[in-house]
Structure 1
Amino acid sequence: MTAHLKTAMVLAAGLGKRMRPITDTMPKPLVKISGKTLLDWGLDSLAEAGVTKAVVNVHYFPEQIVSHVAGRAAPKVVISDESERLLDSAGGIVHALPELGKAPFYIVNADTFWIDAGASNLARLALAWDAAKMDILLMLADIKSATGHSGGTDFLIAPDGALRRSKGDAAGLIYAGAAIIHPRLFRDAPAGPHSLNAYFDSAIAAGRLFGMTMRGHWITVGTPDAIPLAEAAVAGALANPASALNGLK
């Protein structure tokens, strides 16, 4: 089933503690990689996929993000203000639901991004979305096609795309910080801080968590010393798109 998603939630409210001292004076989403902020890497990917409205939550140095996105035309950015209380990933989405609407929408983390190899990965995600059998569809990355990831894998994927926790299994894939989710999941959600992880687990239990492996190179920037590694990965992926398909070393 083909979905045409026009709305997205960009999770940009975190404190970025591991990125200190850079984040002593600025929010992590405004850290630049190869001349572009982490936030703009994500917003540009959303624009390419046809998203017209992105809800961006803010908490830490919120005025800097508000100012940064003020002149952006595509996608149009709506601010979800969490400056008084940080709501975590799911709590931030619940808070923003009036702006997100009743149709399925993208979720994108503002501290990870990727270089597409060929077609937009977010557009591919929309093509793979099937609301009849899915509540959440995660974009996944092969660990061999990732830069900056220091942990293990997150999910094992079945031939039909259904997911279960990998518990570190080397055959697993990494959650790439992008997904499609149906707002019906949050019908009875609490208003306070809570994480998306619980929704992943409930969707697994219901057989309604699915995944799609991205094509290209995935990059996460957790600490200041990860910045040059990320910039080298960007340069390599852009210079040689075929290597992004096969996984950069």
Structure 2
Amino acid sequence: MVLAAGRGMRMRPLTDVTPKPLLPVQGKPLMQWPMEALLAGGFGRMVVNTAWLGEQIDEHCVAWSREHPGCDVTLSREGTDFGYALETAGGIARALPLLADVFWVLAGDIYVPDFQFTQASVERFEASGLLAHIWLVPNPPHNPRGDFGLGADGLAISRADEAWTFSTIGLYRRELFELPWCEVLPGNPQGTAEPLAPLLRRAMDAGQVSAEIYSGTWVDVGTPERLEELNQQD
């Protein structure tokens, strides 16, 4: 699942007319980088959620999937269905009927050009029996305190003195988005907007989330300045 429903307020005025996942980075729309990486890893069935200026993302995904045989993109249109974005956990719960028992999730506004989505990662996660596996990155200047810790046993820690930043990339088991872990009904028919971090913290406290560090290029393209800096690189 590629998350692409956010408003991108910090990117205004650019996002007043273009949804953030479609802003060009190094010659192509930002969300196309992870979509191409997923496809390269053999993960051709994708779900993309939309809200703000969602029709533009719809058009892009339809055109992109036509150009890439073996790729099947399904849209979860939160804006059309409810008039607003459902946040991360709410959006995943909304799309749950479209997702497999184990699935990737990542944000469509993260630039991580060298990350490899592999079947081996999926198989290791499936064998672990855990509810989630997430990738952490070194803390960028705009998030110096980080989000989650990492124990010597490979399990994520909900609160730690030494914390890393959540990359937004993760593998999940659908049970995490069902009772008793998640109170939002599968399919989210009521349109509940729910963040992901509290859900992840509950699962971490129960020892149900593993993690690893990713040290490759990773940029949260959250401001016009960061976007310009990326596009100035050779």
| TM-score, normalized by the shorter chain, greater than 0.5 | yes
Report sequence identity in percent: 30
Equivalent position of 1:137 in the other structure:
133
Q: Which residue does the alignment assign to 2:102? A: 104
* Counterpart contact for 2:143–2:165, Cα < 8 Å: no
**CA offsets, 1:213-233, max 9 Å, x none?**
124111111111111322356
Rounded Cα–Cα distance in structure 1 between residues aligned with 2:113 and 2:213: 13
Deviations 1:7-57 (A, max 9, x none): xx1110000010001011111100111111111011112112211111000
Matches of 1:56 and 1:26 in 2, distance apart?
16
Match of 2:178 among 178, 187, 204: 187
Q: Is the 8 A contact 1:142 1:173 kept in 2?
A: yes
Instruction: Give the whole-Å Cα distance in 1 for the aligned partners of 2:89 and 2:22.
Output: 22
Residues 48 and 75 in structure 2, CA contact (< 8 A), matched pair in contact too: yes
Other-structure match for 2:72: 76
Q: Partners in 2 of 1:114 and 1:125 — Cα distance? A: 17
Match in the other structure for 1:247 = none
Q: Is the 8 A contact 1:121 1:215 kept in 2?
A: no
Matches of residues 115-134 of structure 1 in structure 2 within 5 Å? Answer: 115-116=113-114, 120-123=115-118, 125-126=121-122, 128-134=124-130
AA partner of residue 187 (structure 1): E
Aligned residues: CA RMSD: 1.9
Cα distance in 2 for residues equivalent to 1:110 and 1:131: 28
Cα deviation, 1:59-97, whole Å, max 9, x if unaligned, reads 011110011111223532110011123211111111111
Q: What secondary structure, in the 3-state scheme, does the structure 1 residue paired with 2:38 have?
A: helix
2: CA distance, partners of 1:125 / 1:34: 28
How far apart, CA to CA, are the structure 2 residues paired with 1:128 and 1:113? 25
Counterpart residue identity of residue 95, structure 1? R
Q: TM-score, normalised by structure 1?
A: 0.80
The residue that corresponds to 1:36 in the other structure is: 28
Supply the distance in 1 between the matched residues of 2:51 and 2:210 (Cα, whole angstroms). Answer: 30
Answer whether contact 2:78 2:85 (CA < 8 A) is retained.
Answer: yes
Structure 1 CA distance, aligned partners of 2:127 and 2:85?
30
User: Pairwise mapping of residues 98-247 of structure 1 onto structure 2 (< 5 A)?
Assistant: 98-101=97-100, 103-116=101-114, 120-123=115-118, 125-126=121-122, 128-143=124-139, 149-152=141-144, 153-166=146-159, 169=161, 171-188=162-179, 189-190=183-184, 191=188, 192-232=192-232, 235=234
Matched, 1:12 2:1: no
Q: Cα deviation per residue 1:181-231 (whole Å; 9 max; x = unaligned)? A: 100112233131101112111111210111111241111111111113223
Partners of 1:211 and 1:121 in 2: how far apart?
A: 16
CA distance in 2, matches of 1:166, 1:173: 10
Residues 33 and 113 in structure 2, CA contact (< 8 A), matched pair in contact too: no
Q: Secondary structure at the residue paired with 2:31?
A: helix
Whichever residue aligns with residue 185 of structure 1, its letter is L
In 2, are the aligned partners of 1:46 and 1:75 still within 8 Å (CA)? Answer: no
**Equivalence map 1:45-60=2 (5 Å):** 45-60=37-52
Shift of 1:166: 4.5
Q: Distance in 2 between the 1:16 and 1:62 partners?
A: 13
Task: Write the distance in 2 (CA, Å) between the matches of 1:223 and 1:195.
Answer: 21
Secondary structure of the 2:217 match is: strand
Give the paired residue count.
216
Shift of 1:127: 5.1
User: Quick check: 2:2–2:105 contact (8 Å CA) kept in 1?
Assistant: yes
